[in-house]
Structure 1
């Protein structure tokens, strides 16, 4: 479904909205303090992200004017909603769900830009990248690390409202597919607070509106 330039994907109690970064996107008056002094590119990314978040919320029956920021920069939604926002240089994406359906949501967007080979070792093991390439059909070898990075970013965003872990390293989360088709995450330290949340977390990789979207969801 398309409304203006925004592409929507809807699920049970959840909407993902994707659009291009718009230089003309306006910052709500009460959000301007969050980007005071920022460069025009950053302001456009911020405003575009809030714009698609409001559009996603509207499909769930909620009209939102301003979306604040929490202590970690996470977007603050009304109690009835839970959500996450991400952007690249080209796209803004928001995933917004009903809080009756989801405890936490994390989203990250990828424009299919390969990571520098030197960076991949700090993000994941070759085995993790191979799993992602196997599960996400049509993944080119150079994009496996990029999608793995994006998945872990979504996981970090998903955990933050509940656990507020700020010092997580990419190697603290391990990706696998025990059944060969479903991506799962586990904590490197099984006794950590993160471990219990990851057991309940669902991971998805979607292609929406020309962008690759990685979702991390903790259902009720």
Structure 2
């Protein structure tokens, strides 16, 4: 047993095939509305960043924020569980990474999933798996209704994910050994914190590429 060892996994494109956000929103508000909202969110974000070359921020996070605002604002939080249950039937796992997760757990390593996916559905998708903790993107609610915004922690991707992982390691460590699994380039900031980083070629729906070991640091 190695209780002072930790393995941290990305979710979308790493543990599962494809990305979970849009399918979840389709189950929540309908396919047409979700797809149209994505189109508008992309156009708006790209236009704003093109018009302001020095604009700070992450265009992908801007797209995500716009997508959420156009889909979940005004939706009762009570409806999230039903959509999460439907999403669970959509998920297709990436067998090599799922096996790696279970292997780490079997060795007594602490297992954490760190993802930009939503806390609205991640606990349902991870049910039954040996996962100790979840770092994910929360949705803001007011009086039981979604506002359309992310919570105060923001979007758990890239540098923000690395920041949360850093805080987690400090709070629960020290760890003698650490493994990280994620895809390039979005997970490189958090993988740089791991003693044993593994870059997984982004797994699209229906594909199962092999993993590759990242350069140290």
The bucket for the TM-score relative to the shorter chain is under 0.3
- Taking structure 1 as the reference length, the TM-score comes to 0.26
Which of the pair is proportionally richer in strand? Answer: 1
Which of the pair is proportionally richer in helix? Answer: 2
Higher relative contact order (CA 8 A, sep 6+): 2
- Taking structure 2 as the reference length, the TM-score comes to 0.27
